[in-house]
Amino acid sequence: EDGEFLGMKGLRGQLGRQVADQMWQVGKRQASKAFSLYANIDILRPYFDVEPVQVRARLLESMIPVKMINFPQKIAGELYGPLMLVFTLVAILLHGMKTSDTIIREGTLMGTAIGTCFGYWLGVSSFMYFLAYLCNAQITMVQMLSLLGYGLFGHCITLFVTYNIHFHSLFYIFWLVVGGLSTLRMVAVLVSRTVGHTQRLILCGTIAALHMLFLLYLHFAYHKVVEGILDTLEGPNMPPFQRVARDVPVVSNAVLNTTAKAVALTL
Amino acid sequence: FPGLADVSISQDIPVEGEITVPVGSHSPDEDYSTLDEPVRDTIMRDLKAVGKKFVHVMYPRKSSALLRDWDLWGPLVLCVSLALMLQGGSADSKDDGGPQFAEVFVIIWFGAVVITLNSKLLGGTISFFQSLCVLGYCVLPLTVAMLVCRLVLLAGAGTVSFIVRLIVVVAMFGWSTLASTAFLADSQPPNRKALVVYPIFLFYFVISWMILTFTPQ
Per-residue pLDDT reduced to its tens digit, B33-64: 667 778 888 888 888 888 888 887 887 666 66
In a domain, B19, yes or no: no
Please check whether residue B62 lies inside any domain of the structure.
no
Write b or e for each residue in B173-202: b if 16 or more Cβ atoms lie within 10 A of its Cβ, otherwise e. bebbbebbbbbbbebbeeebbebbbbbbbb
Asked if residue B173 belongs to a domain, the reply is: yes
Residues of B contacting chain A (CB within 8 angstroms): 90-92, 99, 102-103, 106-107, 114, 117-118, 120-123, 158-159, 162, 191-192, 194-195, 198-199, 202, 205-206, 209-210, 213, 215
Residue A69 neighbours by CB under 8 Å, 6+ apart = A188, A191, A192
Comparing B108 with B69, the larger pLDDT belongs to: B108
Contact B122, B196 (CB under 8 A): yes
Residue of B nearest to A88 (CA): B202
Is 50 exceeded by the pLDDT of residue A101? yes
CB atoms within 10 A of CB A172: 13
Question: Comparing A93-97, A117-121, B40-44, which segment has the lowest mean pLDDT?
Answer: A93-97
Taking 70 as the threshold, does the pLDDT of residue B164 lie above it? yes
Q: Which residue has the higher pLDDT, A85 or A253?
A: A85
Q: Which residue has the higher pLDDT, A32 or A85?
A: A85
Q: Which of A1-5, A22-26, A150-154 has the highest mean pLDDT?
A: A150-154
Q: How far, in Å, CA of B193 to CA of A4, rounded?
A: 71
**CA distance, residue A195 to nearest chain B CA (Å):** 37
Residue B88 has a pLDDT of 61
Instruction: Name the percent of chain A lying above pLDDT 70.
Output: 72
A52 touches chain B (CB under 8 A): yes
Q: What is the pLDDT of residue A102?
A: 60
- HSE-CB at A219 with a 13 A cutoff on CA atoms is 29
Residue B170 lies in a domain: yes
Interval A74-82 mean pLDDT = 90
Residue B31 has pLDDT above 90, yes or no: no
CB half-sphere exposure, B213, CA atoms < 13 A: 22
Neighbours of A157 (CB within 10 A): 16
pLDDT exceeds 90 at position A145: yes
Mean pLDDT score across all residues of chain B: 79
User: Could you tell me which of A130, A18, A141 has the C-alpha nearest to residue A77?
Assistant: A141
pLDDT at A229 over 50: no
Distance CA B213, CA A109 (A): 14
Q: Write out chain A residues lying below 8 Å of B90, CB-based.
A: 101, 103
Mean pLDDT (whole number) for A81-108: 78
Domain count, chain B: 1
Total-model pTM: 0.73
In a domain, B60, yes or no: no
Query: What's the 3-state SS for A52-93?
Result: HHHHHHHHHHCCCCCCCCCCCCCCCCCCHHHHHHHHHHHHHH
Q: What is the mean pLDDT of chain A?
A: 81
Question: For chain B, first and last CA: distance in Å?
Answer: 84
More confident residue, A144 or B98: A144
Residue B180 belongs to some domain of the structure: yes
A3 torsion bin: left (phi>0), alpha (psi -120 to 50), beta (else): left
pLDDT of amino acid B183: 79
Whether B182 is in a domain gets the answer yes
A92 close to A160: Cβ distance less than 8 angstroms: yes
Handedness of CA A74, A78, A80, A84 (dihedral sign): positive
Q: Which residue has the higher pLDDT, A189 or A35?
A: A189
A-chain residues within 8 Å CB-CB of B192? 51-52
pLDDT in tens, A236-256: 554 554 445 555 455 555 566
Predicted pLDDT at B66: 63
**Band of residue A31 on the pLDDT scale cut at 50, 70, 90:** confident
- According to the model, what pLDDT value does residue A233 have? 54
> For residue range A157-188, what is the model confidence (pLDDT) as tens digits?
999 988 877 778 888 999 999 999 999 999 99
A101 inside 8 A of chain B by CB = yes
Q: What is the pLDDT of residue A128?
A: 95
Q: What residue numbers bound the domain in which B155 lies?
A: 73-85+98-213
B5 lies in some domain: no
